[in-house]
Amino acid sequence: MAAKTPSHTQVSDRDDEGTDFGRYRIFPRLRILMRNGIKIEIGPRAIDILWLLVRAKGELVTKDYLLEIVWSGVVVEENNLQAQMSAIRRALGSDRDMIRTEFGLGYRLVEKQNHEAAPEPVLDKAVTRALPIPLTPLLGRQTELLELGELFDKSRLLTIVGSGGVGKTRSALEFAQRLADRYGHDVRLAEMAKISDAQLVELSLANALLIPSLDMHHVRQALCGSQSSQLTLIVDNCEHLSDAIAEAIEALLTNAPQIKILTTSQEPLGISGEQVYRLGPLAVPPQNITDIKTALQFPAFELLVERASANVQTFQIDVELANAICHRLDGLPLALELAAARVATLGLSGVLAALNDRFNLLTAGRKTALAKHRTLRATVDWSYHLLDPDEQLMLRRISVFSSPFDVVAVRAVATPENSDPWHAVDILGRLVSKSLLVLDLSQTRPRYRFLESIRFYALEKLADDADLKCIMEQYAAQILTAARHANEDWKTLSTDEWRSTHAGIIDDLRGALDWSFSTHGDMQVGTSILACATPYWVQLSLHDECRNRISDALERFANSLAPREEMALQAALGTALSWAVGPVSEADGAWQRALHLAQTYGASEIELQARYGLWLVNLRSGRFKASLDHSREMLRCSLDAGDHEAVAVAERIAGVSQHFSGNHDLARELLERSVHWFQVNLPPQRFRFGLDQSVAGKSFLARTLWVLGRVDEAKDVADRAVSEAMQLDHANTLCCALAEGECTVHGLEGDVEAVRRAVAALRHAARQHGLGFWDTYAAVFDTWATMESGQVVPSSELSSLVEAVFRAGFHPKYSNLFSDILLAVQRNAWDKTPLLPISTILLEETDAEPCWADVEFRRAAFHLAGSPSATIADLWDELEQARTQNALSWALKIGIDLASHEACGGLLHKAVRALAELIKEFPDNSSGRYVKAARSICKNPIRAAVGQ
């Protein structure tokens, strides 16, 4: 909303003329503020500021405007204005939230609804003074206060439960003040944190009720002395004396039906009829948010910024840094307030960097606060020392988990010595009840998690335990078990199902690896975890971490790794790099080493995986003959092992290699045989070799069919592949179907819009799941579509694309798109410099092995040469070569070119006759783009030639 100078309300010249807002009346000339007819003490500058806000009628009043008007042009620091705003909020009391801060801009006054402006009852002066007046507004708890009201209407006893520092006391006091202000409740406060003797409980409650004791006579005396029909007792901080407090409260509720009680505690009191409200941390913004207006809608962010602004005169808000602090502190109000107090000296970046030492950092609490709330450590200390020995032991041991965990993991790590299956469940339940753990029931299995500050504290305690090494060994073993399950599930589950089931333990995976490879760790366990961790690196886009962790392990432990351990690591590295990056030399080296070790030690599954991996690396690198050799070796190994699924896979990849070598009929035969096997047989591990083989078979079959001239069938098969991949919900499979099938077939047909639709889905899936090769492939399709539609691509973008292609090991001859791109550049006279490395490979390398699109590349070279009369004979040679390969679609494109160029050379009739012969070999109902063009030429050669 644009800030502007507020419009002025017409005011009489009389000094006693006042203006109403809500239940208040302001007399600006007399500088008097009244609430329900009672004068409120407020300073002259504060009332001048308030008057400007009242006149604005809810509009934003800028800081600059307030400073200029109220201080009459005198230059003052902004903190003077902040001090006056605090004075206004104190004067408004429970209505302080009528003053809204627009951070960095100014303030506005928002009037409350009519039901909030009910006349304030006159209460006992001793009682109204009993509730402390907060110095700052309560932020982000409006929903919670409404929910507390609904529960309190239904019950005589309501307990606000939550972890230390979550804001139980502050919320209870705010709620109590509303009861007093709006509904006339006589509210009394008993603060229990200051007493430690259970014998003083009754006396403290009696003092709060202004009676000598809690016997029935005195209680009735308190009720008769109250000027309100409803007496509400607030009993704050009950957890350390919960038994004694529960007994006293139960007696009060029994003997005094007019009393209602609100308590705060870290665990419920367990009294019959008790309503429990669990107060959670403040909501934090999503992690990727950058817009400050959106971020300020989340109360944790708002609290941090407002409190930090109060301590810093010129506070520049970095949304990402502030949000990171909110997340690291779990939205815990006390921790956020303590962190905000450090911003003045450290800045946001300094506070964030120091959070690993948070218990020393967060010590800047108010000296007037209770001792347990002056530092974050004191707050958690208080909670920890209320636990019994079993609960303390459990809390320390499970602090090793940095991700949510279930009871199975707890039994394995924290209580392996106890055979009672309910032991862990009982203690976990008590820790949840005492607000030291958070229970998540949204998953199939209940899961538990820490607030990070409580976990840091428990980890400090664990570091001093004599059984630390034993706990870490059990922890690493449990994570290894989880990683093995994740690795197996990666071969069977859909992508989203795998992520929802397993991705959550990535931080524990890291923790277990860090410990395993540390001085006191277990290298063999770490190696085993790494060998199973490939799905995490691929699915969560952690390519560099994968490379660094495995390479570091291979280097550090080269002399101590057992051959099978090294073999597993090399296979894991090869798999992750192949899918996440591309056919880079590092992936080739990893697979070669894994293959050697697998052959040496008779590890048949690793040998099959290595053959598949080497086939893929060589195929994408343009070494089509080598890829065919690996597919044949995989077929031999599969037959020797009697592995029928692997046989079908080997036939599928052999068919792909034959297609890329230009043997399209044989490729079709092998691909169709493999697809048929997978239609009849459903393997137990659909993604055993990284993707669904049936979908992959259809995808490559589609492009093979297009080359063979079966255009409509190719489109149908490509569509089916995408549809099946989407049903499987497996990212790698979907990317294969979109890139190798849908995008390729429609690209071959020159259908720009179809490619654009498919490439959008391809890029989304590739980037979301960290599949780098597919993302690079998508960039090539995207560039092709842009250029084919006649739009220029900046040279810088072309240079970046070429760099990405070579960095990923992607050979230009893997796709025909690059020849189309070169032709588009020439057609439009665009700068071809960035594409010179590509054109050199496509057009000038003459000693390369046979390729699936050689005739197409040479057709492009004919156009790019610039002297067609000198090379027209070559086009006729390429036509024959295409016919020999039965590559009818390539032949058709050459035939169309010949008809165009021979119209000038006098051999138009010969070219048209050749074209007509070609068309006969296509299905009669073929709707392909080039089939239509050829038919048009044959029907009217002269007109078609002139059109060319």
DSSP for 411-474, please give it.
Answer: HHHT-TT---HHHHHHHHHHHHHTTSSEEE-SSSS-EEE--HHHHHHHHHHHHT-TTHHHHHHH
Asked if 530 and 550 touch (Cβ cutoff 8 Å), the reply is yes
Beta bridge mates, 405:
448
Instruction: Tell me the percentage of the chain whose pLDDT exceeds 90.
Output: 42
Convert the pLDDT of each residue in 253-291 to its tens digit. Answer: 888 888 899 999 988 999 988 999 999 999 999 987 888
Confidence band (pLDDT; 50, 70, 90) for 788?
very high
Which two three-digit tokens encode residue 635?
Answer: 């077929």
Query: 421 or 364: which carries more pLDDT confidence?
Result: 421
User: What's the one-letter identity of residue 342?
Assistant: R
Query: 870 or 874: which carries more pLDDT confidence?
Result: 874
Which two three-digit tokens encode residue 317?
Answer: 């808000």
Convert the pLDDT of each residue in 715-743 to its tens digit. Answer: 999 999 999 999 988 889 999 999 999 99
Query: Which residues are CB-contacts of 650 (< 8 A; sequence separation ≥ 6)?
Result: 611, 631, 632, 634, 635, 638
Please give the Cα distance from 844 to 259 (Å, whole number): 94
Instruction: Give pLDDT, residue 95.
Output: 83
Query: Which residues are CB-contacts of 12 (< 8 A; sequence separation ≥ 6)?
Result: none
Asked if 97 and 14 touch (Cβ cutoff 8 Å), the reply is no
Convert the pLDDT of each residue in 204-235 to its tens digit. Answer: 888 888 777 777 767 766 666 555 567 889 99
Give whole-number Cα distances, 510 to 402, 475, 546, 805, in Å.
Answer: 10, 12, 11, 31
Please give the Cα distance from 504 to 308 (Å, whole number): 33
Of all residues in the chain, what percent are helix, strand and coil, respectively (each to 5)?
65, 5, 30
Query: Which residues are CB-contacts of 416 (< 8 A; sequence separation ≥ 6)?
Result: 474
Query: Which residues are CB-contacts of 513 (< 8 A; sequence separation ≥ 6)?
Result: 526, 529, 530, 533, 549
Which two three-digit tokens encode residue 418?
Answer: 């106890």
Which two three-digit tokens encode residue 338?
Answer: 């303590």
Asked if 599 and 607 touch (Cβ cutoff 8 Å), the reply is yes
Highest mean pLDDT among 381-395, 517-531, 544-558, 653-667: 653-667
| Rg value, the chain, Cα | 38
The answer on pLDDT for 935 being more than 80 is yes
Confidence band (pLDDT; 50, 70, 90) for 899?
confident
Please give the Cα distance from 623 to 96 (Å, whole number): 74
Instruction: Give pLDDT, residue 10.
Output: 40
Confidence band (pLDDT; 50, 70, 90) for 866?
low
Region label for 210, one of left (φ > 0), alpha (ψ between -120 and 50) or beta (otherwise): left
Task: Provide long-range contacts, Cβ within 8 A and 24+ apart, for 906-913.
Answer: 908/941, 908/942, 908/945, 909/941, 912/937, 912/938, 912/941
Ranges of H-type helices in 43-167: 44-55, 63-70, 78-92, 125-128, 142-154
Which two three-digit tokens encode residue 687?
Answer: 């993604």
State the average pLDDT over residues 816-844.
90
Convert the pLDDT of each residue in 488-513 to its tens digit. Answer: 998 888 877 888 889 889 999 999 99
Q: How far apart are the first and last CA of the chain?
A: 59
Asked if 728 and 692 touch (Cβ cutoff 8 Å), the reply is yes
State the average pLDDT over residues 321-337.
88
Which two three-digit tokens encode residue 857?
Answer: 């590349």
Confidence band (pLDDT; 50, 70, 90) for 484?
very high
Handedness of CA 467, 470, 476, 479 (dihedral sign): negative
The mean pLDDT value of the chain amounts to 85
Beta bridge mates, 449:
438
Give the lowest-confidence range in 596-605, 660-669, 807-816. 807-816
Asked if 634 and 653 touch (Cβ cutoff 8 Å), the reply is yes
Which two three-digit tokens encode residue 593?
Answer: 């080493």
What is the 8-class DSSP label of residue 926? Answer: -
State the average pLDDT over residues 239-251.
90
Which two three-digit tokens encode residue 513?
Answer: 């690896």
Beta bridge mates, 275:
158
> Which helix H or strand E contains 265, and what residues bound it?
strand 259-265
For helices 644-660 and 693-707, the axis angle rounded to 10 degrees is 30
Convert the pLDDT of each residue in 170-191 to its tens digit. Answer: 899 889 888 887 777 788 888 8
Handedness of CA 216, 217, 223, 226 (dihedral sign): negative
Please give the Cα distance from 191 to 368 (Å, whole number): 14
Instruction: Tell me the percentage of the chain whose pLDDT exceeds 70.
Output: 88
Which two three-digit tokens encode residue 797?
Answer: 């973008």
Please give the Cα distance from 932 to 896 (Å, whole number): 11
The answer on pLDDT for 121 being more than 50 is no
The answer on pLDDT for 683 being more than 50 is yes
Query: 32 or 634: which carries more pLDDT confidence?
Result: 634
Which two three-digit tokens encode residue 353?
Answer: 């960097």
Instruction: Give pLDDT, residue 115.
Output: 40
Count the Cβ atoms, other than its own, within 10 Å of residue 862. 21
Nearest residue to 492 (alpha-carbon basis) of 535, 447, 542: 535
User: What's the one-letter identity of residue 652?
Assistant: R
The answer on pLDDT for 945 being more than 60 is no
**Number of helices and strands (H, E) in the chain?**
46, 14
Convert the pLDDT of each residue in 140-151 to its tens digit. Answer: 888 899 999 999
Instruction: Give pLDDT, residue 117.
Output: 40
Confidence band (pLDDT; 50, 70, 90) for 911?
confident
Please give the Cα distance from 9 to 676 (Å, whole number): 83
Instruction: Give pLDDT, residue 224.
Output: 62
Nearest residue to 903 (alpha-carbon basis) of 931, 870, 940: 940
Give whole-number Cα distances, 67 to 56, 76, 88, in Å.
Answer: 15, 8, 15
Asked if 47 and 66 touch (Cβ cutoff 8 Å), the reply is no
Asked if 21 and 111 touch (Cβ cutoff 8 Å), the reply is yes
The answer on pLDDT for 364 being more than 60 is no
Beta bridge mates, 137:
none
Confidence band (pLDDT; 50, 70, 90) for 5?
very low
Asked if 574 and 594 touch (Cβ cutoff 8 Å), the reply is yes
The answer on pLDDT for 835 being more than 90 is yes
pTM score = 0.66
Asked if 54 and 60 touch (Cβ cutoff 8 Å), the reply is no
Please give the Cα distance from 714 to 716 (Å, whole number): 5
The answer on pLDDT for 791 being more than 90 is yes
